[in-house]
């Protein structure tokens, strides 16, 4: 049996039917998860993009907001009127269309089995996860790959105009315009180059007319100066790539890329279109973001989701790699059946990988749970009618409220807090407040605020080297008693706790006493976690006789000495009932930013388990997990649960 016959059923009509079948299946899978998912990907960025689009017709200035990306807002606004699910549906549709045009590009480049590009694109982990958010990468990917297709079809007029909106979807689209300009010059179509600026000129002119200035699209962008987001390794996106591209896709992509370069040197003219329109957009975008994060410039945060924007290009290159992977088996075994089997194996690995490394249906992120809890507290206590000063606008997604309402005021700097009156509320979040130079301790102890409640993320989250949290404060005339109460809320001493697990490893020890020891520098006993990939200090507890508060709040504390590893220890928590796992989280436990690796240091964090009903069958399971890359010492370990 011929592989093309297997894929195409010997004619283009069959291929078209197979394409429709694949598109229908991919759409059905994603619509199912869309309906079942209680949360969204992209965190506060998704929620904020949604809010700009949702209220754009009420606040027309949203259509000309540089941060919100004006063309994205224009297209998303009608969908957002129907709710966040509708905006997610837009991303699902655009994502599948991006996969479809990846297939059309692969077909136009005469690749074998071009339908593989549709599958690879649709099931690349970072791409599929982005379907369920409100960020701009999916629309960017669709417009970029469609532009490539139009240029391959010699439709330079439409291609150039479409390319002009890339920077209006994501400003880093400017990175790709010179690449496409090279193609037009190479194919003697330089007369179309001015059209690639159409979108920028139109929006810049409209902004100038309404008084925003001609260069309003670049407001807030610091190209060469370092930003508070920090910086990281030049190779970060390469190191993280297995988590967002998937190892099978990377293998096929690298194979296809190498084969493509070989073709370029053998048949340069034939391969030049693919090189400029597929390879270069991927490579230039990838390297530009790597450099920006390395230098800490261009407002880069080094986020993995940036790479979703170039997945269709990766999918086209990986298509050739997967075909060659299957062909290699035919060369070795001289069997068409083996080649088809290898193709099916590669096909299955691609579809499997997003479900292996990501959780579907999609739930709220850990940080989003803190915002959700804060919004619920505000609504339950009837505080949503008060004037609310806020640092993170995404709180209004959970309040289902326009961030630009008369009683809603965005705090842009610390000086603005002086304008607040008694009984006004301040919704403080650790990320955006830090970006705006607002210090929580200064607010709490120097500005006359009563702390009403602190909301922790579901699992510990670090932002700018510190723990993330959300706090609700009320402006008031405070006294010494108020300051004391504020401190109790921050420390958690205003809550009552029942101890579930307690080991000091001297008077109280776990069942596994083999790893309990002492040393010359530490006379008291401690628990040693060796270099083994397994769980340690595992405990199982029933909560039905304890009467915990809802949502279930666990406080974990211990002392740690890190002996031989630069990698953090992991902690896990599970909720199990009648043999079914209702909840499971595994996360890295970060150490204090300035912690001395040669000393013991205290670690404490809170775990929030939402929507878990306490029954006699419910068991909470906790413990440490080591990835066999380091040795750790643990002392004074305690797990407590907040009770009524």
Query: Which tens digits make up the pLDDT trace of 179-205?
Result: 999 999 988 899 999 999 999 999 999
Answer yes or no: is 160 within a domain: yes
246: Cβ contacts below 8 Å, ≥ 6 apart: 124, 125, 350, 353, 354, 357
Q: Quick check: is 467 in a domain?
A: yes
Residue 496: pLDDT above 70?
yes
- Kind of pairing, strands 388-390 and 425-429? parallel
Q: Residue 9: pLDDT band by 50, 70, 90 thresholds?
A: very low
Average the pLDDT over 421-426 and give the result.
92
Output the average pLDDT for the chain: 87
Of 21-30, 44-53, 119-128, 294-303, the range with the lowest mean pLDDT is 294-303
- At 225 the pLDDT is 57
Asked if 334 and 423 sit in the same domain, the reply is no
Q: Write out the two tokens for 480.
A: 């010494």
- Domain-ending residue, one of 436, 461, 489: 489
What the block records as the tokens of 366 is 């850990």
Looking at the structure, do residues 183 and 319 belong to the same domain, yes or no?
Answer: yes
Does the pLDDT of residue 374 top 90, yes or no? Answer: yes
Can you read off the two tokens belonging to residue 270? 């034939």
pLDDT at 4 over 50: no
Q: Judge contact between 164 and 273, C-beta under 8 A.
A: no
**Which of 224-233, 442-451, 610-619 has the highest average model confidence (pLDDT)?**
610-619
Q: What is the mean pLDDT of residues 450-455?
A: 92
Report if residue 1 sits inside a domain: no
For residue 307, pLDDT over 60 is answered with yes
3-state secondary structure of 541: strand
The CATH number for 549's domain is 2.60.120
Q: Give the mean pLDDT of 1-12.
A: 44
pLDDT at 12: 47
156 shares a domain with 18:
yes
DSSP assigned state of 531? S
pLDDT recorded at residue 201: 95
Question: Is residue 320 scored above 70 in pLDDT?
Answer: yes
Q: Is the pLDDT of residue 270 over 80?
A: no
527: tokens are 């628990």
**Distance (Å, whole) CA 386 – CA 389:** 10
Do 57 and 178 fall into the same domain?
yes
Bridge-based pairing state of the strands 516-517 and 496-503 = unpaired
Confidence of residue 383 (pLDDT cuts 50, 70, 90): very high
User: What long-range pairs does 216-220 form, CB within 8 A, spacing at least 24?
Assistant: 216/64, 216/66, 217/66, 217/70, 217/167, 217/168, 217/171, 218/66, 218/171, 219/66, 219/67, 220/66, 220/67, 220/299
Residue 124 has pLDDT above 70, yes or no: yes
Contact in structure between 425 and 474 (CB atoms under 8 Å): yes
199 and 244 inside one domain: yes
Q: Are strands 466-467 and 462-463 parallel, antiparallel or unpaired?
A: antiparallel
Residues 6+ away with beta carbon under 8 Å from 191? none
The residue-averaged pLDDT of 401-407 equals 91
Assess whether pLDDT exceeds 90 at residue 162.
yes
Mean pLDDT, rounded, for 286-292: 92
Reply yes or no on whether the pLDDT at 333 is more than 90.
Answer: no
Please list the residues that pair with 633 across neighbouring strands: 528, 561
Instruction: Give the model's confidence band at 348: pLDDT under 50 very low, under 70 low, under 90 confident, else very high.
Output: confident
Nearest C-alpha neighbor of 252 from the set 356, 352, 324, 355: 324
- Residues counted in the chain: 644
What is the model's pLDDT at position 323?
74
Q: If pLDDT is split at 50, 70 and 90, which confidence band does 558 have?
A: very high
Say yes or no: 352 and 395 in one domain: no
Residue ending a domain, choose from 334, 357, 380: 357
Q: How many helices (H) and strands (E) does the chain have?
A: 23, 17
Q: Is residue 266 part of a domain?
A: yes
* 597, 518: one domain: yes
Q: What per-residue confidence (pLDDT) applies to 601?
A: 85
| Structural domain that includes position 286 | 9-357
Per-residue pLDDT, 561: 84
Q: Which of 307, 277, 20 is nearest to 146 (CA)?
A: 277
Both 104 and 161 in one domain: the answer is yes
% the chain with pLDDT above 90: 53
Q: How confident is the model at residue 517 (pLDDT cuts 50, 70, 90)?
A: confident
Q: Is residue 331 part of a domain?
A: yes
Rounded to 5°, the CA angle 360-364-370 comes to: 160
- Please report the pLDDT score of residue 6 as a whole number: 45
User: Is residue 4 situated within a structural domain?
Assistant: no
Q: Are residues 155 and 199 in the same domain?
A: yes
Same domain, 481 and 501: no
Residues ≥6 apart with Cβ < 8 Å to 417 = 389, 411, 426, 438, 443, 447
Question: Looking at the structure, do residues 45 and 156 belong to the same domain, yes or no?
Answer: yes
DSSP letter (8 states) at residue 591: P
- Per-residue pLDDT, averaged over 71-83, amounts to 96
The pLDDT of residue 245 is 87
Q: Is the pLDDT of residue 8 over 50?
A: no
First to last CA, the chain: 69
pLDDT at residue 81, rounded to an integer? 95
Determine the pLDDT at residue 566. Answer: 63
Q: Which long-range contacts (CB under 8 A, 24 or more apart) does 485-488 make?
A: 485/450, 485/451, 486/444, 486/445, 486/449, 486/450, 486/451
Q: Of the candidates 336, 357, 378, which is a domain's last residue?
A: 357
Token look-up 């330089």 returns: 190
In a domain, 2, yes or no: no
Confidence of residue 399 (pLDDT cuts 50, 70, 90): very high
Residue 106 has pLDDT above 70, yes or no: yes
Mean pLDDT for the stretch of residues 138-161: 96
Instruction: Give a yes or no: residue 241 inside a domain.
Output: yes
DSSP 8-class letter at 133: B
Number of folded domains that form the chain: 3
Q: Decide if pLDDT at 3 tops 70.
A: no
Please give the average per-residue pLDDT across 352-377, as a whole number: 90
Q: Is omega for the bond preceding 157 within 30 degrees of 0, making it cis?
A: no
- Contact call for residues 438 and 426 (beta carbons, < 8 A): no
The residues near 467 (Cβ < 8 Å, ≥ 6 apart) are: 430, 460, 461, 605
- Among 210-214, 231-235, 449-453, name the one with the lowest average pLDDT: 231-235
Could you tell me if 507 and 473 lie in one domain? no
Mean pLDDT across 454-467: 88
Give the Cβ contact number of residue 223 at 10 Å. Answer: 9
- 105 torsion bin: left (phi>0), alpha (psi -120 to 50), beta (else): alpha
User: In this predicted structure, what is the pLDDT of residue 223?
Assistant: 62
């Amino acid at each position: 049996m011929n592989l093309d016959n297997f894929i195409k059923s010997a004619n283009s009509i069959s291929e078209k039917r197979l394409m429709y079948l694949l598109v229908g299946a991919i759409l059905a899978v994603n619509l199912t998860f869309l309906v079942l998912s209680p949360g969204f990907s992209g965190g506060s960025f998704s929620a904020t993009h949604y809010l700009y689009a949702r209220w754009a017709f009420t606040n027309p200035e949203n259509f000309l907001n540089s941060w919100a990306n004006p063309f994205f807002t224009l297209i998303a606004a009608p969908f957002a009127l129907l709710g966040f699910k509708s905006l997610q549906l837009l991303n699902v549709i655009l994502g599948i269309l991006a996969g479809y045009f990846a297939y059309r590009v692969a077909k136009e480049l005469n690749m074998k089995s071009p339908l593989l590009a549709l599958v690879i694109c649709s099931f690349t982990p970072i791409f599929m996860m982005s379907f369920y958010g409100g960020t701009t990468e999916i629309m960017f990917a669709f417009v970029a790959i469609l532009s490539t297709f139009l240029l391959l079809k010699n439709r330079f007029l439409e291609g150039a105009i479409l390319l002009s909106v890339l920077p209006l979807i994501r400003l880093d689209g400017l990175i790709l315009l010179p690449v496409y300009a090279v193609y037009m010059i190479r194919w003697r179509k330089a007369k179309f180059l001015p059209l690639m600026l159409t979108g920028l000129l139109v929006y810049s002119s409209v902004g100038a007319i309404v008084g925003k200035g001609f260069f309003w699209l670049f407001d807030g962008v610091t190209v060469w100066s370092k930003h508070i987001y920090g910086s990281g390794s030049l190779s970060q996106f390469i190191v993280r790539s297995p988590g967002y591209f998937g190892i099978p896709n990377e293998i096929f992509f690298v194979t296809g890329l190498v084969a493509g370069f070989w073709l370029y040197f053998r048949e340069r003219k034939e391969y030049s279109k693919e090189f400029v329109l597929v390879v270069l957009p991927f490579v230039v975008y990838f390297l530009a973001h790597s450099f920006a994060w390395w230098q800490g410039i261009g407002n880069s945060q080094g986020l993995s989701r940036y790479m979703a924007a170039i997945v269709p290009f990766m999918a086209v290159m990986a298509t050739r790699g997967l075909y060659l992977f299957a062909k290699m088996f035919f060369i070795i075994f001289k069997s068409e059946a083996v080649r088809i089997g290898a193709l099916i194996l590669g096909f299955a690995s691609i579809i499997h990988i997003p479900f292996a490394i990501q959780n579907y249906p999609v739930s709220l992120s850990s940080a989003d749970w803190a915002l959700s809890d804060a919004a619920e507290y505000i609504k339950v206590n009837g505080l949503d009618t008060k004037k609310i000063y806020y640092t993170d606008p995404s709180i209004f997604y959970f309040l289902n409220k326009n961030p630009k309402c008369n009683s809603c005021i965005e705090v842009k700097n610390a000086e603005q807090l002086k304008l607040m009156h008694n009984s006004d509320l301040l919704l403080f979040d650790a990320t955006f407040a830090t970006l705006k130079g607002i210090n929580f301790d200064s607010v709490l102890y120097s500005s006359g605020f009563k702390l009403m409640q602190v909301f922790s993320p579901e699992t510990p989250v670090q932002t700018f080297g510190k723990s993330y949290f959300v706090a609700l404060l009320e402006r008031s005339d405070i006294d010494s008693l108020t300051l004391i109460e504020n401190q109790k809320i921050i420390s958690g001493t205003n809550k009552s706790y029942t101890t579930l697990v307690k080991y000091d490893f001297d008077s109280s020890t776990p069942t596994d006493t083999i790893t309990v020891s002492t040393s010359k520098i530490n006379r008291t006993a401690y628990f040693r976690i060796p270099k083994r990939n397994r769980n340690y200090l595992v405990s199982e507890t029933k909560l039905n006789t304890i009467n915990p508060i809802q949502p279930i709040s666990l406080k974990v504390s211990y002392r740690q000495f890190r002996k031989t590893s630069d990698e953090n220890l992991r902690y896990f928590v599970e909720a199990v009932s009648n043999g079914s796992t209702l909840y499971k989280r595994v996360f890295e436990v970060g150490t204090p930013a300035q912690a001395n690796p040669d000393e013991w240091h205290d670690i404490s964090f809170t775990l929030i388990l939402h929507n878990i009903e306490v029954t006699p069958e419910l068991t909470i399971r906790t413990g440490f997990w080591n990835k066999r890359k380091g040795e750790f010492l643990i002392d004074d370990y305690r797990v407590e649960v907040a009770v009524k």
